Amino acid sequence: MIVTGDDKAEMQNLQKYLASEFEMKSLGDLKYFLGIEVSKSKHGIFLSQRKYILDLLAETRILDCKPIDTPSEQNHKLELYPDQVPTDKELYMGVVMRILRYLKVTPSKGLKFCKYGHTNVEGYTDSEWVDSVTDRRSASGYFTFVGGNLVT
């Protein structure tokens, strides 16, 4: 992993090294990459998929649809059980449409990575020993902060 922080000299050294190994050119500050919009300020960086979401809604011809507050209904089950007969595909298309309607209210939402003045790395983990209804296994999870910002 390569980290240069705000060290301009280190960034220039890295760019020179990469240019010696790969064909590349500087395109200036990052504004848009793989469907993600990048906005910088003195407070940090904001990532969003505003343009991607609006393009997706336009492509599916539902840009003027009625928005919905949640991506799925409460207690809505789509899991497959070993003895379950094949599910009606219309059920899944309804779920997809609900997700698209939910996206209608989210274009202005995104991830903000603030400058907190440090680059400390902190990690936390948790596990749940209650059996899952679908596979009877326990679950665990983790999250990691870098510089005070959640990254995983």
Helix (H) or strand (E) holding 9: helix 8-21
Question: Residue 85 CB: number of other CB atoms within 10 A?
Answer: 6
Query: Token pair of 130, please?
Result: 């209650």
Checking if the pLDDT of 1 tops 60, the result is no
Checking if the pLDDT of 149 tops 90, the result is yes
Higher pLDDT, 122 or 75: 122
Q: What is the 3-state secondary structure (H, E, C) of 108-134?
A: CCEEEEECCCCCCEEEEEEEECCCCCC
- Three-state secondary structure call for residue 91: helix
Output the pLDDT for position 133: 66
Output the pLDDT for position 132: 64
Confidence band of 144 (pLDDT split at 50, 70, 90): very high
| Residue 126, strand partner residues | 141
User: For 148, what's the count of Cα atoms within 13 Å in the CB-facing half-sphere?
Assistant: 9
Higher pLDDT, 143 or 84: 143
Would you say the C-alpha torsion 26, 150, 143, 133 has a positive or negative sign?
Answer: negative
Output the pLDDT for position 26: 76
Confidence band of 131 (pLDDT split at 50, 70, 90): low
Report pLDDT digits (tens) over 78-113: 666 666 666 667 777 888 898 999 999 988 899 999
Output the pLDDT for position 78: 64
Quote the DSSP letter at residue 76.
Answer: -
Cα 75 to its chain centre, rounded Å, is 24
Q: Which amino acid does the sequence have at 118?
A: H
Output the pLDDT for position 113: 93
Report pLDDT digits (tens) over 6-57: 788 888 888 888 889 999 887 888 899 898 999 999 999 999 999 999 999 9
Instruction: Compute the distance between CA of residue 152 and CA of residue 145 in angstroms, rounded to an integer.
Output: 7
Nearest CA to 110 among 57, 60, 58, 39? Answer: 39
